[in-house]
Amino acid sequence: MIELQSVTKDFAGVRAVNDVSLTVEQGTVAAVVGTSGSGKSTLLRMVNRLIEPTSGRILIDGADTAGVPAPDLRRRIGYVIQDHGLFPHWSAARNIATVPVLLRWPRAQVRTRVRELMEMLQLDPDVIGPRLPHELSGGQAQRVGVARALAVRPELLLMDEPFGALDPVIRAQAQADLARVQKRLGTTVILVTHDMAEAIRLGDRIAVMRAGRVEQFAAPADIIARPATPFVADLLGEGDRAFRYLSLRPAADLARPEGPGAGPAAGDADAPPLSPGTTMAEALSEMIWTGRDHVRVARADGTGGTVSRDDLIRAGRPE
Amino acid sequence: MRAAWPVRLVLWALVAIFVLWPGLFAPLLRPLAPPGMPVVYDRASLSGLTAWHLGLVAAAIVPSALMAIGLAILVTRPAGADFLPLARALGGFGQTFPPVAVLALAVPVVGFGAWPTLIALFLYGLLPILENALAGLTGVPPSVMLAADGMGMTPRQRLVRVELPLAAPLIVEGVRISAVIAISTAAIGSTVAAPGLGEVIIAGLNANNMAFVVQGGLLTAALALIVHDALGLAGGLVGPRGARARTAAA
Amino acid sequence: MNGGTRLLILPLALSPLLPFAVFRANRIAEAEPRSLVAALGGGGAALAVAGLAAMIGALVLARRAQVRTVVAAALVVAILLAMGWAAARLTAGGPPQVRVGPGAGFWVALVSAGLLVVDARARLHPRPAMRLAIVAVAVAIGAAILWSGALSQLSIMQEYGNRSASFWREGARHLWLAFGSFAAAMLAGVPLGIGLTRARRASAPVLGLLTMLQTIPSMALFGMLIAPLAWIAANVPAAHALGIRGIGAAPAFAALFLYSLLPIVANTVVGLTGVPRSVTEAADGMGLTRRQRLTSVDVPLALPVIVSAARIVLVQNIGMATVGALIGAGGFGTFVFQGIGQTATDLILLGALPTVALAFATSAVLDALIGMLPGTAR
């Protein structure tokens, strides 16, 4: 559990972060969203003490981070930055081994760990491992950066615009990979981004920052349903609020069991069911595009169900 | 200049043979010498003069490089950041100072012989290395520095593992520039009685013996080319290409 | 007060403890040190130390780099004038062959003060026109001090007095060697560079050859050019009529010309290939012919890079022309090597100091010019 208690940072008289208090629960993802200059990166860098707070305390599992020498603290915390910051003179594998080597792990253990991480992030250790950073594609470099940050199984992972330099297709893939890896490892993540859609997609809780202050800290559904300030509403974009809300839940939640007499299937019984992970927003989009008012959805347990358009539209408006 | 290995080996062999058995080349030089004058420099052995020449250069450039790199490290640390503008200005300033002037100005201070040459070579060697080391150390991308700190490297680990290796190609290039200039200045050092190949050229000029001038000139030129080329190879080894070779070996 | 200032004030403050001047019974006699008190007299020394203390105080207290630059420059002038005064005092009434030159204290003070100017000036970031003005003012002040006769009793000025005619002759020869070979190299190098951007395949070998030439030590190249030029002089009557000889200015000129080629050709290539593709495509799209594009787009855009090559070449030539004296080419090097031969320090300085001043002034002027060219963002 990470606790920020009244954290404030002044740079030469300018208040970059102003009295921020947040708690991030174990194993969850907190997304910090804001425009540039809102203080979100500064806030993140105070957690691993790349920047020392002017006042306030930061606790990890109840222990004040100020009590640990900064390099020791940072080795326990994973850190991913936008331009990936890979060391240009080291191969991908050596980059991933950075912190284990700093901690003087035995060589064999380092090698095993690097292989394990590369496989987890779908990087071929024999092909990608010996390459230098300038020989990697943007997506590969980004994954190497994530692998490097996860090398010693940190309980906390800090990510500063980690997908900012990627093109949209690769970015979506990288976001999905991160979500998968995070669930598997149970790592606590603090993710800084300027992209509200990314925050909604990845965050369990979202902190919206503006001018050094947190304007709202809440679950995505709450942020969309009840933006606390006009700035938060602006950042959400009024136009596709309903779709954002629908994108939070799987369509399967609204599925009614299929069976004889369960209602007309509008003659599309032959159409293959949508996959279990399909969100309500995607299901509605499918209906609009194909002109149907029902779609079939597969459930994780193998059974199927039918979702109706009216149910989806009702679900798009928070109670 | 990426001289191919055969060319390189032939040059090395030619220089070695010339230095060890200059008599073999006497027939080639004969037409250049006035009748009755010696064809091969005879007041000292060419091998001894070559050794002195290279020795002076090494004795000046090694401490020069250590000091310049040390200074560059110092002024790029937070504690020394205040001196960075001065170091930069000095680096640029010193490049403007003619090497001959450094040599000439050292004579009044320390007298004749090897010392003024050594001092001139040392001082003049500092600046190109300092300038290149500063460029290398300040040129490390900010994201790489941030990542090094963020990974939990101590300032010393960051310097040794990240900053210096990344600056190394530029530093070696600075050493290369300094060494080539030093070979040239060491030749002029013979005018203040420093032992070296310049002696042969000057003896030739004084006695109007072109054979001396040409053999001294060719040898000095060959030394400069060999050192230039060798340090270019060294630069390749510390660069990204070399990084991969090291990784593959590990 | 910044670190640079702090570092330099220490030697400046301690410099009065070192001998300010050296005294010689004649121009090649052993030098005897003279302390500040002996050089300037008790009252003069007190005045000098008080003045120095006041200026150091001003440097420590001054917040603005402009103020520090002016104070440090004034200090340089004051140190020079004090030296002239000391020379006048110490030679007064003595036999004419007595020589008084600068001592360690003078050099430490002068170098520290000079570096203080450099340090303060580095924090100013003046605009190019301002930089030109600074160079002009510095040259004017220097000339005024020399012409005023304030330094006339100083040993180096007495050396000058004995050789004023040959000084200006060798100076003109030096300029001709340095600037003439540069001009010739520009005439040959820029077209060669333009040609290399057209014939890409020739580019690597030509630049490799020029790099090799530049690597050859100056004395070796100067010497080795004697033989071929002597042969040309002996066999080509027209060349002989032009004054080309194996010994003298011709091999020096040729060597400087060859050394100048690499920076000029390489920077021309870099400058021309650095013109953004969008610009050249726009030029082609608007129907400029190849020649029009070259003269109205490519060359103007490459100009800053080419002019910075000119700076490198001129500074390098001014220094290397000194070596030409060894093969009878003349120039300021004549005094340097004569001085070395006679162990006459002042004669060495008479050759070395103008060379250094010339190199600095040329470098500063060209730096400013580069900044003034359109397209250089500063």
Q: Which residues of chain B are within 8 Å of residue A86 when distances are taken between CB atoms? A: 144, 147
The per-residue pLDDT string of chain B (250 residues; one tens digit each, 9 = 90 and over) reads 455 788 889 989 998 998 888 888 888 888 888 888 888 888 888 899 999 999 999 999 999 999 999 999 999 998 888 888 778 777 777 777 777 878 887 877 777 888 888 988 898 888 889 989 999 999 999 999 999 999 999 999 999 999 999 999 999 999 999 999 899 889 988 888 889 999 999 888 888 888 888 888 889 999 999 999 999 888 888 876 555 554 443 3
Q: What is the pLDDT of residue B250?
A: 38
Q: What is the pLDDT of residue C53?
A: 92
Q: Which residues of chain B are within 8 Å of residue C6 when distances are taken between CB atoms? A: 82
**Tokens linked to B111:** 């007298």
Total count of residues recorded for chain C: 378
What's the pLDDT tens digit per position in C298-307?
A: 888 888 888 8
Beta bridge partners of C327: none
A156 Ramachandran zone, left/alpha/beta (phi>0; psi -120 to 50): beta
Beta carbons of C221 and B80 less than 8 Å apart: no
CA nearest neighbour of C84 among C142, C139, C153: C153
Q: What is the pLDDT of residue A267?
A: 46
Interface test with B, best of C215, C226, C256, C360 (most B CBs within 10 A): C215
Residues 6+ apart with CB under 8 A from C153: C84, C87, C88, C91, C100
Q: Give CA B60 to chain center in angstroms.
A: 9
Q: What is the pLDDT of residue B3?
A: 54
What's the pLDDT tens digit per position in B198-245?
A: 999 988 888 888 888 888 888 999 999 999 999 988 888 887 655 555
The answer to whether position B44 is within a domain reads no
Interface test with B, best of A42, A49, A89 (most B CBs within 10 A): A89
Range of the domain at B212: 49-241
The per-residue pLDDT string of chain A (319 residues; one tens digit each, 9 = 90 and over) reads 899 999 999 988 889 999 999 999 999 999 999 988 889 999 999 999 999 999 999 999 989 999 999 999 999 999 998 888 899 999 999 999 999 999 999 999 999 999 999 998 889 999 999 999 999 998 899 999 999 999 999 989 999 999 887 888 888 888 988 999 898 899 999 999 998 889 988 999 999 999 999 999 999 988 888 888 999 888 887 777 788 888 888 888 888 876 554 444 444 556 778 888 788 888 888 888 888 888 888 877 777 788 888 888 888 887 7
The answer to whether position B193 is within a domain reads yes
The set of chains that have 3 or more CB pairs under 8 A with C is B
- pLDDT tier for residue C291 given thresholds of 50, 70 and 90: confident
Give the three-state DSSP class for C34.
strand
Q: How many domains does chain B have?
A: 1
> Is residue C297 a contact partner of residue C280, using CB atoms and an 8 Å limit?
yes
The answer to whether position B16 is within a domain reads no
For residues C153 and C74, what is the distance between their CA atoms, to the nearest angstrom?
A: 22
| Complex ipTM | 0.82
Beta carbons of B143 and A82 less than 8 Å apart: yes
Q: What is the pLDDT of residue A266?
A: 47
Neighbours of B28 (CB within 10 A): 12
What's the pLDDT tens digit per position in C66-105?
A: 888 899 999 999 999 999 999 998 888 888 888 888 888 9
The answer to whether position B15 is within a domain reads no
Residues 6+ apart with CB under 8 A from A260: none
Q: Which residues of chain B are within 8 Å of residue C123 when distances are taken between CB atoms? A: 85
The answer to whether position B106 is within a domain reads yes
What's the pLDDT tens digit per position in C150-185?
A: 888 888 888 888 888 999 999 999 999 999 999 999
For residues A288 and A284, what is the distance between their CA atoms, to the nearest angstrom?
A: 6
The answer to whether position B146 is within a domain reads yes
Q: Which domains does chain C have, with CATH numbers?
A: 3-125 (no CATH), 164-372 (1.10.3720.10)
Beta carbons of A102 and B165 less than 8 Å apart: no
For residues B59 and B55, what is the distance between their CA atoms, to the nearest angstrom?
A: 6
Q: Which residues of chain A are within 8 Å of residue B244 when distances are taken between CB atoms? A: 91, 130, 132
> Is residue C209 a contact partner of residue C281, using CB atoms and an 8 Å limit?
no
CA nearest neighbour of C267 among C183, C190, C369, C213: C190
The answer to whether position B13 is within a domain reads no
The answer to whether position B124 is within a domain reads yes
Beta carbons of C336 and B100 less than 8 Å apart: yes
Identify the CATH number of the domain in which residue B193 sits: 1.10.3720.10
**Tokens linked to C249:** 């200015």
**Which residue has tokens 């190019």?**
C128
